[in-house]
Amino acid sequence: MTTNYSNPILEDRIGQFLCDENNLLIKLDNQKLTDQDMTIVVEQAIQKKQCTYLDLQDNEITSEGMSILALALSENSKLHTLYLHGNHLFDKGIYSLAQILTSSNHTLKILGLNSIGLTDVGAEDLAVMLQKNRTLTHLQLQANEIGNRGILYLAEALTKYNTTLEQLELAENKLVNDSSVDLLVEIIKHNRSLKVLNVGLCTISDSGKTKLKAATESSKDLQLIL
């Protein structure tokens, strides 16, 4: 990256956001931000302003920009919500983030990763993260390319290790089909923290949905979205 890169419009936009009762929400969605802009976002929004909520969805961030953000999160104790929907992160971009959320960051609670090109490879990285992370409560993975193998990885983490995730959004992952039903049933039966499980618009048959609904009868606190 060019070291003397600047984006006065971005810096001015960040500067306009004001703190409200110790919460600082910074919305930078749909700004055509690139990887180069992430250094500015880190310096101005995360480090200087210590924002608690950062919306970066629908920009042009790739794995390179994600690495910059992930490194900043390793030393951050303020940011609790991060939305990255619609960026070009793919599995490579999520790897660095998952590493930080596994070991260094103990603050982030809500992570939005809808429509970022995530496959089973990225799902495995996130599952490994969930085995050790005890902070994240909401994980949004809608409209990706996660399939049955990805559900296998997530199911293992949620049935054997994780006790803090409250909401898992898997809707519109078309590669998830009836082969994942038994795995989802295991999550429903054995995970005690999950309050919302969204698998709407996946490729699950009516019989599969019936089986999932039946599993929720023993878990009154869980909202199942089909």
- Please tell me the chain's helix, strand, coil percentages from 3-state DSSP, rounded to the nearest 5: 40, 10, 45
pTM over 0.75: yes
For the chain, domain boundaries: 8-225
Secondary structure letter of residue 222 according to DSSP: P
**How does pLDDT run along the chain (226 residues), one tens digit per residue?**
446 899 999 999 999 999 887 899 999 999 999 999 999 999 999 999 999 999 999 999 999 999 999 999 999 999 999 999 999 999 999 999 999 999 999 999 999 999 999 999 999 999 999 999 999 999 999 999 999 999 999 999 999 999 999 999 999 999 999 999 999 999 999 999 999 999 999 999 999 999 999 999 977 789 999 9
Q: CB-side exposure of 79: number of CA atoms within 13 Å?
A: 25
| Distance from C-alpha of 64 to C-alpha of 160, rounded to nearest angstrom | 33
Chain centroid offset of residue 64 CA: 17
CATH of segment(s) 8-225: 3.80.10.10
Angle of the 181-190 helix axis to the 148-160 helix axis, nearest 10: 20
